[in-house]
């Protein structure tokens, strides 16, 4: 440990390795974004050059905005992600509270039953999920996706939140009971505000996989009016595969929202991971 502080060579080596890997991590994103602002000729002539007054062009973005309905896709992705997170957090917190707070017959079994889904991927049941969604008429609606992502997110949410709810002081809850608060009020008024950091962690963990998922939109909601941004860009790029300007612009537009979310929530995400919420 101290050797690193004493020996400048070690420090340089550490920075060298980290810089090298940072470049590897960022290079593809960088290349895609800079080339999306260039003319077709410049993309091929000097792929690594920054756009200048000569090679700058927004033709790709024009094609994308004219041909693809990216605002609609973005809106669909927003609805699905926010809706799923809302239900994961609400239902997950309620179940976690029941498991953490009350002793009742079957508590342990119920906890294990809900934890099963942490390790078993929901995709295995896709054939039957599609059949069910067709029967209930939910196929090609955003509700199908919201239900699936809620079910997928609940196990880990219940697991993490119940760990945190066990730490909420009993005195506080009992004081509330003496004051005549109902169990529902104790949950919503006293406990929920105290576990807000844990809820944020759960939200951030679930947000990115839901936003990025391709499998369920492809299978449950492929219709034009309910396409998510991930599926929409996949289909768009597939159709315009020879139009490099359009493909690069579509990729950049798809990167933009996730990067914005990441910039906003990265501290929360990293704190969540490093605080050992997923041991």
Partner 1 sequence: MSDPHSKPKFRWHIVVFLAPAVLVYTAVMIYPLFNTLRLSLFTEVDQARVYVGLQNFRTLFGDTVWSTQFWNALGNNFWFFVIHMLVQNPIGIALAAILSHPKLRFASFYRSAIFIPTILSFVIVGFAWKLILSPIWGIAPGMLDAVGLKSLYAPWLGKEAYALTTLSLVSVWQFVGIPMMLIYAALLSIPEEILEAAEVEGITGLAAFWKIKLPLILPSIGIISILTFVANFNAFDLIYAAQGALAGPDFSTDILGTFMYRTFFGFQLQLGDPHMGSTIASAMFAIILVGVCLYLFGIQSRMRRYQF
Which residues ranging from 114 to 133 are in contact with partner 1 (CB under 8 A)?
114, 116-117, 119-132
Residue 244 burial (10 A CB sphere; 0-12, 13-18, 19+): middle
Instruction: Check residue 202 for interaction with partner 1 (CB under 8 A).
Output: no
**Tokens in use for 158?**
């219940």
Q: Which residues pair with 38 in a beta bridge?
A: 56
Q: Which of 49-57, 63-71, 162-170, 253-261 is the region at the interface with partner 1 (rule: CB under 8 A)?
A: 253-261
Is the C-alpha dihedral spanning 76, 78, 82, 84 positive or negative? positive
- By beta-carbon proximity to partner 1, the closer residue of 53 and 168 is 168
CB within 8 Å of 59: residues ≥ 6 apart: 39, 40, 245
Query: For residue 257, how many other CB atoms are within 10 A of its CB?
Result: 15
Least Cα distance to 160 among 82, 109, 232, 89 occurs for 89
CB within 8 Å of 33: residues ≥ 6 apart: 252, 255
Q: Which of 51-59, 62-70, 195-203, 241-249 is the region at the interface with partner 1 (rule: CB under 8 A)?
A: 241-249
Instruction: Check residue 201 for interaction with partner 1 (CB under 8 A).
Output: no
Q: Which of 68, 164, 247, 249 binds partner 1 (CB under 8 A)?
A: 247
- By beta-carbon proximity to partner 1, the closer residue of 71 and 262 is 262
Write the binding mask 71 to 110 for partner 1: x where contact by CB under 8 A, - elsewhere. ----------------x--xxx-xx-xxx--x-x-----x
Residues 130-189 within binding reach of partner 1 (CB under 8 A): 130-132, 147-148, 150-152, 154-155, 158, 177, 182-184, 187
Q: Which of 49-57, 66-74, 194-202, 267-275 is the region at the interface with partner 1 (rule: CB under 8 A)?
A: 267-275
Count Cα neighbours of 233 within 13 Å in the Cβ-side half-sphere: 22
Instruction: Check residue 5 for interaction with partner 1 (CB under 8 A).
Output: yes
Q: Is residue 261 within 8 Å of residue 208, measured between CB atoms?
A: yes
Residues 18-77 within binding reach of partner 1 (CB under 8 A): 18-19, 21-22, 24-26, 28-29, 31-32, 43-44, 47-48
Shortest spacing between CB 32 and partner 1, in angstroms:
5
Least Cα distance to 16 among 5, 6, 8 occurs for 8
Backbone dihedral angles phi then psi of residue 212, each to the nearest 5 degrees: -90, -5
Shortest spacing between CB 27 and partner 1, in angstroms:
8
Judged by DSSP in three states, 96 sits in: helix
Shortest spacing between CB 56 and partner 1, in angstroms:
19
């Amino acid at each position: 440990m101290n050797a690193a502080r004493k020996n400048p060579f070690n420090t340089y080596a550490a920075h060298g390795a980290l810089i090298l890997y940072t470049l590897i991590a960022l290079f593809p994103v960088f290349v895609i974004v800079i080339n999306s602002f260039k003319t077709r000729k410049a993309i091929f002539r000097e792929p690594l050059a920054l756009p200048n007054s000569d090679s700058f062009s927004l033709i790709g973005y024009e094609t994308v905005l004219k041909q693809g309905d990216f605002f609609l896709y973005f809106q669909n992705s927003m609805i699905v992600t926010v809706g799923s997170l809302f239900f994961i957090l609400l239902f997950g917190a309620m179940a976690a509270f029941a498991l953490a707070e009350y002793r009742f017959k079957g508590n342990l079994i119920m906890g294990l039953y809900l934890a099963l889904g942490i390790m078993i991927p929901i995709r295995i049941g896709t054939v039957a999920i599609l059949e069910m969604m067709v029967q209930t008429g939910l196929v090609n609606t955003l509700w199908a996706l919201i239900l699936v992502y809620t079910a997928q997110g609940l196990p880990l949410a219940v697991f993490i939140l119940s760990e945190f709810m066990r730490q909420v002081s009993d005195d506080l809850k009992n004081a509330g009971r003496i004051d005549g608060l109902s169990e529902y009020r104790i949950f919503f008024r006293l406990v929920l505000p105290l576990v807000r950091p844990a809820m944020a962690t759960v939200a951030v963990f679930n947000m990115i996989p839901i936003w990025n998922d391709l499998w369920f939109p492809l299978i449950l909601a492929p219709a034009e009016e309910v396409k998510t941004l991930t599926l929409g860009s996949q289909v768009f790029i597939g159709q315009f595969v020879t139009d490099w300007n359009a493909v690069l612009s579509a990729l950049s537009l798809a990167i933009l929202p996730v990067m914005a979310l990441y910039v906003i929530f990265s501290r929360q995400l990293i704190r969540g991971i490093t605080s050992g919420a997923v041991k």
